[in-house]
Amino acid sequence: MSSQKKATASQGFRTGESIVYPAHGVGQIVAIEEQVVAGMTLELFVIDFEKDKMRLKVPVAKAKSVGMRKLSETDFVERALKVVQGRARVKKTMWSRRAQEYDAKINSGDLIQIAEVVRDLYRADSQPEQSYSERQLYEAALGRMARELAAVNEVSETEAVQLIELNLNKGPKRGPKGAAEAEGEGEGEADTEETPEEQEEAA
């Protein structure tokens, strides 16, 4: 942490603070340094992403335009937890198109959009299994959401995941009797990624 240069704050961000970078989630600004590029002095945020074992240098002037932001306020986190309690909204489109939309939401850096992916791809024990690719996207969204909750609430990532799952299980048709009720609700629409067309015909 001793690598920081003269500046300790810039553009409203400061060294030592956790931020959210859209494509990578929660990171920490470890330094603000200067670099000379083509005779121009460039100020850079040095950001560590502990989870991905990665370091990123972002030009200070471009930080906001690329979507870098401060951690969500507590009330916004509460809103995101309310979102995961909602009813899953699964579009009747090809899985490949839905997967692209989910991926875009996960990488948007928007906590509410990430929460929507967690909600839509969650499967309770009483519901059909997720396909492999659904599971991958679900875990990516859950991880992103949990890391931000953990940073905001100052708890471990494991505790954050438990909190999200607790809220997921408050949602409609997530209890043991949900499986029977879910018939005709389209709960299984995203269940098989290979043949969404068959499900559309059956609907």
Q: Are 25 and 70 in contact (CB under 8 A)?
A: no
- Hey, what are 197's tokens? 């067309």
Share of the chain above pLDDT 70, in %: 80
Max mean pLDDT range (8-12, 129-133, 196-200) = 129-133
Domain locations in the chain as residue ranges: 9-70, 74-202
Q: Are 47 and 29 in contact (CB under 8 A)?
A: yes
> Partners of 37 in the beta sheet?
40
Confidence class for position 12, pLDDT limits 50, 70, 90: confident
Distance from first CA to last CA of the chain, Å, rounded? 57
Which pLDDT belongs to residue 8?
66
* Cα distance between residue 133 and residue 98, in whole Å: 11
- Hey, what are 87's tokens? 């009813």
Which pLDDT belongs to residue 171?
83
CATH top class, domain 9-70: mainly beta
The burial of 119, by beta-carbon neighbours within 10 Å (0-12 exposed, 13-18 middle, 19 or more buried), is given as buried
Residue 105's nearest CA partner among 144, 133, 152, 147 is 144
Which pLDDT belongs to residue 139?
96
Q: What tens digit of pLDDT does each residue of 136-178 get?
A: 999 999 999 999 999 999 999 999 999 999 999 988 765 443 3
Reported pTM: 0.78
Which pLDDT belongs to residue 178?
36
Q: Report the range of poorest mean pLDDT among 20-24, 50-54, 94-98.
A: 50-54
CATH number, span 74-202: 1.20.58.1290
Give the count of beta carbons closer than 10 Å to the beta carbon of residue 168.
21
The one-letter amino acid at 47: I
* Cα distance between residue 135 and residue 114, in whole Å: 14
Q: What tens digit of pLDDT does each residue of 74-98 get?
A: 999 999 999 999 999 888 889 999 9
